[in-house]
Amino acid sequence: MKSPYMDYSLAPRAKGPVSWLETLIVTGLFIGLGLWLIPEDPLQMHAAFAWPVLAPLLAGVRYGFARGLLSASLLVMTLFILRAAGLAAYEQIEPSFIVGLLLCGMLVGEVHDLWQQRLQRLQRANDYSRSRLDEFTCAHQILRVSHDLLEQRVAGSDQSLRSALLGLREKLRVMPGEGDAVTLLAGPILALLGQYGSLRVAGLYRVDEHRTKVQSDALATIGAMGDLDTDDGLIRLCLERGELISVRQELIDSGGLAQIYSLQACVPLIDAEGHLLAVLAIRQMPFFAFQERTLSLLALLAGHIADLLRGDRHALQSVDADAHHFSRQLKRCLSDNQQHGLNACLFGLEMTRANDRLVRLLERHQRGLDVQLLVRNGRGNPVLLMLLPLTDRTGATGYLTRIGVLLHEEFGVESDLASLGVQVLACNLEPDDDCAGLRHFLFDECGLNDQQVDV
């Protein structure tokens, strides 16, 4: 209310009794001036213009209908008093003069009241808009600060699943040839799983060769893990089934978790061929993170990590991926597709004529997690298999578009895969598909055999 934008009046207005007093003073001032200047016609009823009519006009404009009517009534009363006093000019009173005085005060005052009501409604709407604007401004500032903090966190850490797996693969590449990969990379593995699962208390434990017992000594821990009960029900179920096991949220809310299990979840590090390497025992994780989506992500990461640890380290360090590595990655994509509903895409580029330049171009621009395998099919043609993990149909279309741009830059604007004698065969691995469709694609469409690609 103190803002200058809220004051719609031309001059400050008095309120309450002061306004009534001001109306009386202004009206009396006009009457007094008339008696002093023109005693024979103080109200100037017979003049060219009746200047005292300004009193009800001013009162009506400033204070509304009631004060304007009061001022006009005072002038009419003065008129009758002067007539009763024997003033000769007022022996004959014009009724139109009296009606005009009253109408001036009432009409102007009524217009003032109507506009005042309208301005008050606009002021209330403006107050509400300003309050909403203040709330929006505060929320915007908070969101902006949160966004800046999130940018700083993202800039300082790998948030992409693809980049995280690539980082772990790089660590595996530079690791010495001797030594257990699980033991040497236990810390980075647990840090990666803890980052994506928001783990507070957890530990990574090795599993024996017979897959019947978990070692009590932790390879790496997060938080105060303490001693692990190797006979815990979740651990036994995890070893038996080879899949992620967690307690129900209702059991945690009721407080019965400590009476039955000492853990909230167990995540196995099991590769695509079923080899169980280690178990991630989760003792405590935030309430918002303990949901199916987060647990599925942990199981997915654990499977990919197990594939990297079980894979041939020399194959990772070589320039070309061999058939064994390609088959292993293809099995992992099938497992992710069936268990977690993650899409993948497989391309087969069959070349009717040899083109080493094209093969080298595609190898140079291979994406980080993609796997390529160059084989010769039963028709005697070279076939370049390209596996695109974690890629749906839209991503596969974008990848083909990217290849088209590379061909334009390398072979000319008019060049494409068809003009280079390349037939594009595609297979999308989606949640509803089975292995039969993949085998048909590899063995029938691409013309390969099970010695080249094992599915």
Kindly report the CATH number assigned to the domain that includes residue 329: 3.30.70.2880
Closest CA to 274 of 233, 229, 239: 239
Pair (329, 306) in one structural domain: no
Alpha-helical segments (H) within 223-312: 233-241, 249-254, 257-260, 292-310
The encoded tokens of residue 265 equal: 């979840």
What are the C-alpha distances in Å from 206 to residues 217, 219, 270, 284? 8, 7, 12, 20
Pair (307, 426) in one structural domain: no
Residues in the chain: 455
Pair (362, 436) in one structural domain: yes
With respect to residue 342, please indicate whether it lies within any of the assigned structural domains: yes
- pLDDT digit string (tens) for 234-289? 888 888 888 888 876 545 555 545 445 678 889 988 887 788 888 998 988 888 77
Q: What angle do CA 10, 15, 21 make, to 5 degrees?
A: 100
Tell me how many domains the chain contains.
3
Whether residue 280 contacts residue 190, with contact meaning beta carbons closer than 8 Å, is answered with yes
Given 272, 290, 313, the domain boundary residue is 313
Kindly report the CATH number assigned to the domain that includes residue 299: 3.30.450.40
pLDDT given at position 179? 59
**DSSP H or E stretch at residue 24:** helix 17-37
Pair (221, 243) in one structural domain: yes
Pair (308, 346) in one structural domain: no
Pair (305, 333) in one structural domain: no
Pair (306, 334) in one structural domain: no
Report the distance separating Cα 44 and Cα 50, nearest Å. Answer: 5
- Confidence class of residue 411 from pLDDT cuts 50, 70 and 90? confident
- pLDDT digit string (tens) for 307-352? 877 764 444 444 344 577 788 788 888 877 777 777 888 888 888 8
Pair (256, 382) in one structural domain: no
Pair (105, 184) in one structural domain: no
pLDDT at 2 over 60: no
Which neighbouring-strand residues pair with 220? 204
What are the C-alpha distances in Å from 295 to residues 60, 162, 243, 342, 397? 75, 18, 11, 14, 30
pLDDT given at position 316? 43
Given 75, 101, 131, the domain boundary residue is 131
pLDDT at 84 over 80: no
Pair (308, 340) in one structural domain: no
Residues spanned by the domain of 285: 174-313
Given 268, 289, 313, the domain boundary residue is 313
Mean pLDDT of 205-222: 84
Name the burial class of residue 406, with classes exposed (0-12), middle (13-18) and buried (19+) by CB atoms within 10 angstroms of its CB: middle
With respect to residue 387, please indicate whether it lies within any of the assigned structural domains: yes
With respect to residue 146, please indicate whether it lies within any of the assigned structural domains: no
Whether residue 117 contacts residue 64, with contact meaning beta carbons closer than 8 Å, is answered with no
* Least confident window among 173-177, 182-186, 215-219, 375-379: 173-177
Q: pLDDT: is 107 or 86 the higher one?
A: 107
Pair (334, 368) in one structural domain: yes
Which neighbouring-strand residues pair with 345? 388, 428
Pair (305, 328) in one structural domain: no
